[in-house]
Amino acid sequence: MNDVVRPVMQDAVAAAPTRVDGRDKVTGRARYAVEHPVEDVVWAWPVTSTVAKGRVTEIDASEANGTEGVIAVLTHANAPRLGETDDAELQLLQSDRVAYRGQVCALVVGETVESARAGADAVRVRYDEAEHDVVLDARHPAMFTPEKVNPGFPTDTSIGDPDTAFAVAAVQLDATYTTPTEHNHAMEPHATTASWGADGTLTLYDSNQGSTGVARVMADLFGLQVRAVHVISEHVGGGFGSKGTPRPNIVLAAMAAQAVGRPVRLALGRQHMFSLVGYRTPTIQRLRLGATTDGVLRSLVHDVWEQTSTLDDFAEQTAVISRMLYAAPARRTTHRLVRLDVPTPSWMRAPGEAPGSFALESAMDELAAACDLDPVELRVRNEPDVDPESGKPFSSRNLVACLREGARRFGWEQRDPTPGVRRDGRWLVGTGVASSTYPARTAPSQARMSIGSDGVVTVELNAVDIGTGSRTALTQIAAEAMDLPTDRVRLRIGDSTLPPAMIAGGSMGLTSWGSAIVKGARQLRELVGRRDGAIPEDGLEVTADTAEEVRAVSGYARHAFGAQFCEVRVDADTGEVRVPRLLGVFAVGRVINARTARSQLVGGMTMGLSMALHEEGVVDVQHGDNVNHDLAGYHIAAHADVADVDAMWLEEHDEHLNLVGAKGIGEIGIVGTAAAVANAVHHATGVRVRDLPIRVDRLLGRG
């Protein structure tokens, strides 16, 4: 099962190919959603509600219509009617109902973005305001059990009698942890350019994580055949899950273009992204761990409370990580949900695993202290032989190897386990550890591959590069599979007219797309071989579909694993926290491109650092909104916060994954990082912070 051969050394990065689209990006030739040249284009800007619940009683657009450059003002009274979809958040301007503060209640179209914004400022909206409820509380009387948790896991699971096992356990830990609302903020905001053709077709340049599904949803909304909707996502400036499904920008742009008869651009502003593009739900998590005196778990209970909106139900799979990470003969996990007058939460990098790991890995650290055990050793002692709940064998599982190698590289053996004893002048110094994991999934995808008489191979599939380096890695995969240099490969992605493929999400984009390319390459090489290498003037072409291959590996529990090590320095007087060192060691199957892989892992760890110390949507109970709904008040890690962040991986061969042999790496880097920071802060200060972020007032006992 453990197939570690050796660590891949850091100098492997130098040998990795640079990004094939790097020059286009640094010279500005790469075009994003609102940068494509379109004639006669105009701009749109939304008007959003200033109440959290109620009805729109009047919209006075007279001043807006008189503003220079304003072309139209769309409201629920005059906007195009939309068809039904499963996403109620996309039923924009279809009624007078207000379900949350920041909801779109009008849209202004202007000749320029400035005139559209000026017109939006001039729109006057009056409401019949109702009493709202925006505070998550585990004791909320309307808390209910959702049918499932994202993406389709059982809501609750139970094995054995965890309550009795906990009651008789020699060592008991019962603690509650919380994480706040967290928001997605990609460099490129959610943006769209929409244009209707004279034949009724709809062309959309859109920033998304997969345009195949976007085209289907837009076709349903506007009563079109899917083939009449063309979605182009040539370059996408980040997504983190928030662009995995269509968002209001694309629907509003298409509506506006239909209404005014001209192409329309709409790029959401930063403040819009706090209400219109999904967010990570706040969580309340109770962990009960029962163990023997030597640290072996006998009982594990993980209960989670979360919020959703009154429009749609979305339940993040926060406790799912506790179903597979450690062995415990008796266990239970539960999820409960309450509908509040807030926007609908959605995907944010490592949904479920990111907040769930903070609670679980913090609790494991507390258990290690209670058992007087080293935190690394405690985790090793609770390593399962098979998936604890499904009983399936792991396709590969190298968590212990990551912990051991990370401890060696980090210098863990020098650690004095006593909290609050290491000091460097005014700074208290501590170290912490946490485990990481993320499912290693692959989804069915298709790829069309052709070879011309010049020997150049063209690969076409509707993958998307959201800044992760997918173009580069897919070019490498195709070149290797065809036994050609990379300059003999042409790659086309980011277009809904191409063969359908998995979105760039769930850490399964590259594994899914790469598998389709490998299968297509095998078919193409076989076809060329049958012709003794002779290629006709018009070339040869095949189309591969990996649905059968995906079904064939369902008998295994497939996960990536890792270990995060952190050093913190805490100012003894002010409580200021600095993180001079982060190390992540991962087991992620085959790494396709060391350069881009390290970038993804370091990026995830940096985002986890930001989660630990900064990110927090602060609820304004009176107005029903986040009081800090901009990047001046919603803090994220800046350059000064990110010092030595290093990621490396173990060589791992896993034949039960996919045709590429890889595990996704986009999300595992964020899993466990916040807990490692919190555990290090406890080691430095003796203060256990169970509520993120780790603010100064919480460290000083005032928050």
pLDDT tens for 363-413 read 999 999 999 999 999 999 999 999 999 999 999 999 999 999 999 999 999
353 is catalytic: no
pLDDT (0 to 100) of residue 429: 98
pTM for this structure?
Answer: 0.96
> Furthest-apart CA pair in the chain: how many Å?
77
Mean pLDDT of 84-98: 96
Mean pLDDT of 428-433: 98
pLDDT (0 to 100) of residue 17: 84
Q: Cα(255)–Cα(249) distance, rounded to whole angstroms? A: 10
pLDDT > 70? residue 702: no
pLDDT (0 to 100) of residue 552: 84
What are 38-82's pLDDT values in tens digits? 999 999 999 999 999 999 999 999 999 999 999 999 999 999 999
3-state secondary structure of 157: strand
Q: Which residues contact 425 (CB under 8 A, 6 or more apart)?
A: none
Contact indicator for 97, 165 with CB cutoff of 8 Å: no
Q: Cα(550)–Cα(2) distance, rounded to whole angstroms? A: 23
2 band by pLDDT with thresholds 50, 70 and 90: very low
What single-letter amino acid sits at 643? A
Q: What is the CA radius of gyration of the chain?
A: 26
Q: Domain extents for the chain?
A: 1-30+374-440+556-703, 42-131+185-274, 443-552
420 band by pLDDT with thresholds 50, 70 and 90: very high
What are 334-375's pLDDT values in tens digits? 999 999 999 999 999 999 999 999 999 999 999 999 999 999
Marked catalytic residue, from 89, 234, 567, 667: 667
User: What are 86's two structure tokens?
Assistant: 């499963």
pLDDT (0 to 100) of residue 1: 35
What single-letter amino acid sits at 435? S
pLDDT > 60? residue 111: yes
443-552: which CATH number, 3.40.1400.10, 3.30.365.10, 3.90.1150.10, 3.40.50.2000?
3.30.365.10
Listed in order, strand segments (DSSP E) in 117-269 are: 124-129, 157-159, 171-179, 182-183, 191-196, 202-206, 229-232, 264-267
Contact indicator for 106, 56 with CB cutoff of 8 Å: no
What are 505-560's pLDDT values in tens digits? 999 999 999 999 999 999 999 999 999 999 999 999 999 999 999 988 778 999 99
CA–CA distances in Å: residue 225 to residues 83, 217, 219, 230: 13, 11, 6, 11
Nearest to 214 by CA among 241, 175, 170, 246: 246
pLDDT > 70? residue 7: no
**Domains 1-30+374-440+556-703 and 42-131+185-274 in one fold:** yes
Mean pLDDT computed over every residue of the chain:
95
pLDDT > 70? residue 15: no
Q: Cα(538)–Cα(568) distance, rounded to whole angstroms? A: 62
CATH of the domain spanning 42-131+185-274 = 3.30.365.10
pLDDT (0 to 100) of residue 703: 62
Q: 1-30+374-440+556-703 is classed in which CATH architecture? A: 2-Layer Sandwich (3.30)
Nearest to 68 by CA among 124, 112, 107: 112
* Class of residue 545 by CB neighbours under 10 A (exposed 0-12, middle 13-18, buried 19+): middle
pLDDT > 90? residue 10: no
pLDDT > 80? residue 3: no
What percent of the chain stands above pLDDT 70? Answer: 98
